[in-house]
């Protein structure tokens, strides 16, 4: 049985990092003046860039997606592509952006994403899509507060489509302490928290502060287990709380935070029985797909089909949608299992 054929869930996908080459072509045809070449926005097979260079790529991509109609198009294309890859439940995340040049406001941005989700549903795509509003740490506290307010509004008005808040952005920029207040506010309002932390080394103090918020999931956590011995409490804390880790193998390799597949921290957490969810991060920038991530992990860590199946099934426990949705998904998976594992 090919793990590719399993139904899967994507829980860590940044919208602008997930744009495929095909969609980029459409967008670039509309904006020829930008003169952007492919290698400026995607990292092909066998190539690598450091994390700093990856963040430069996002800045370029943002120039291409500067209007609400661009956001609508990329949202729809990204959802269809995940659905085609076998994803049945998707949590997209994105940073609401205002663009002076086009008059797009942060609210218009979120509305465009939500419209894309709605249209895909109306078109009958077999995928349940939810949205996490992202706070970009490089944009500072005031912007974070504004974004949290917006997320709270949409949490109340979207009937379960907006489910959480993500803290992401260049980990070199700013400090987690600057976001504690807005993150706490978001949590109190009922937004689930997915926090990028320990994505780069020597961030123990910041990680300790962010873990103090009891996040619902951790993005990457690449260097948690590699902390100095004085900071081993961080691993213990994460283990005690059983906080799920969103792991993105290709992203970490191409972004050069992990030196080889075999050294990926999946190999630390999975044998402990700690909850982990495989994700793509930025399937456009890192030229990958979720089914491919499952295959890579299965190959690298020699997982059996049964183990891959269990990994897919367990991811349902960590989604941010309601327990009703979890029950529905589990039922869907149960129905598929007997035929798929034969």
Number of residues that bind ligand 6MZ (CB under 6 A): 18
13 or 127: whose CB is closer to ligand 6MZ? 13
Does position 10 interact with ligand 6MZ (CB under 6 A)? The reply is no
Q: How far is the CB of 257 from ligand 6MZ (least distance, A)?
A: 8
Among 14-22, 38-46, 143-151, 306-314, which window interacts with ligand 6MZ (CB under 6 A)? Answer: 14-22
Does position 9 interact with ligand 6MZ (CB under 6 A)? The reply is no
Q: Is residue 268 within a helix (H) or strand (E), and if so which, with residue range?
A: helix 266-269
7 or 284: whose CB is closer to ligand 6MZ? 284
Q: How far is the CB of 323 from ligand 6MZ (least distance, A)?
A: 28
Q: Tally the residues of the chain.
A: 342
174 or 244: whose CB is closer to ligand 6MZ? 174
Tokens of 146: 């504004």
**What does the DSSP 8-state code read for residue 178?**
G
Q: How far is CA 298 from CA 4, 6, 79, 305, in A?
A: 11, 13, 25, 8
Does position 67 interact with ligand 6MZ (CB under 6 A)? The reply is no
Non-local CB neighbours of 270 within 8 Å, separated by 6+ positions: 276, 301
Q: Which of residues 250-309 bind ligand 6MZ (CB under 6 A)?
A: 251, 255, 281-282
Q: Which of residues 71-110 bind ligand 6MZ (CB under 6 A)?
A: 94-95
Tokens of 66: 């500067």
Does position 164 interact with ligand 6MZ (CB under 6 A)? The reply is no
28 or 313: whose CB is closer to ligand 6MZ? 28
Q: Which of residues 196-215 bind ligand 6MZ (CB under 6 A)?
A: 196, 199
Q: Pick the catalytic residue: 199, 206, 246, 293?
A: 199
Contact 321, 163 (CB under 8 A): yes
Does position 17 interact with ligand 6MZ (CB under 6 A)? The reply is yes
Helices (H), 32-139: 51-64, 68-84, 106-122
Contact 191, 151 (CB under 8 A): yes
Does position 136 interact with ligand 6MZ (CB under 6 A)? The reply is yes
252, 255, 258, 264 alpha-carbon torsion, rounded to 10°: 20
Contact 158, 118 (CB under 8 A): no
Report the phi/psi class of residue 169: left, alpha or beta, with left for phi > 0 and alpha for psi in -120 to 50.
Answer: left
Contact 283, 61 (CB under 8 A): no
14 or 88: whose CB is closer to ligand 6MZ? 14
Active site residue 204: no
The residues assigned a catalytic role are 199
Residues that bind ligand 6MZ (CB under 6 A): 14-17, 54, 58, 94-95, 134, 136, 168-169, 196, 199, 251, 255, 281-282
């Amino acid at each position: 049985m090919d793990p590719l054929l399993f139904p899967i869930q994507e829980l860590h996908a940044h919208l602008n990092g997930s744009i495929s080459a095909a969609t980029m072509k459409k967008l670039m045809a509309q904006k020829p003046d930008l003169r952007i070449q492919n290698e400026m926005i995607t990292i092909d097979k066998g190539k690598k860039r450091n994390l700093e260079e990856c963040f430069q790529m996002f800045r370029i991509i943002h120039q291409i997606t500067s209007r609400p109609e661009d956001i609508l198009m990329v949202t729809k294309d990204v959802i269809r592509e995940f659905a085609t890859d076998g994803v049945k439940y998707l949590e997209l995340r994105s940073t609401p952006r205002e663009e002076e040049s086009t008059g797009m406001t942060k609210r218009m941005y979120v509305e465009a994403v939500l419209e894309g989700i709605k249209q895909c549903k109306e078109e009958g795509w077999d995928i349940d899509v939810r949205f996490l509003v992202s706070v970009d740490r490089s944009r500072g506290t005031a912007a974070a507060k504004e974004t949290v307010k917006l997320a709270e509004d949409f949490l109340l008005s979207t009937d379960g489509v907006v489910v959480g808040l993500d803290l992401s952005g260049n980990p070199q920029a700013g400090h987690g302490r600057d976001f504690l207040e807005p993150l706490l506010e978001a949590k109190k309002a009922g937004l689930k928290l997915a926090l990028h932390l320990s994505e780069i080394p020597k961030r123990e103090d910041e990680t300790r502060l962010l873990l103090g918020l009891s996040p619902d999931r951790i993005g990457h956590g690449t260097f948690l287990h590699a902390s100095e011995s004085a900071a081993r409490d961080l691993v213990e804390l994460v283990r005690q709380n059983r906080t799920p880790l969103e792991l993105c193998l290709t992203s970490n390799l191409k972004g050069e935070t992990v030196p080889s597949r075999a050294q990926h921290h999946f190999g630390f957490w999975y044998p402990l029985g700690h909850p982990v969810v495989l994700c793509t991060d930025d399937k456009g920038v890192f030229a990958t797909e979720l089914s491919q991530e499952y295959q890579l992990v299965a190959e690298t860590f020699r997982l059996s089909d049964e183990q891959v199946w269990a990994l897919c099934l367990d991811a349902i426990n960590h989604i941010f949608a309601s327990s009703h949705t979890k029950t529905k998904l589990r039922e869907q998976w149960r129905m598929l299992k007997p035929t798929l594992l034969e």
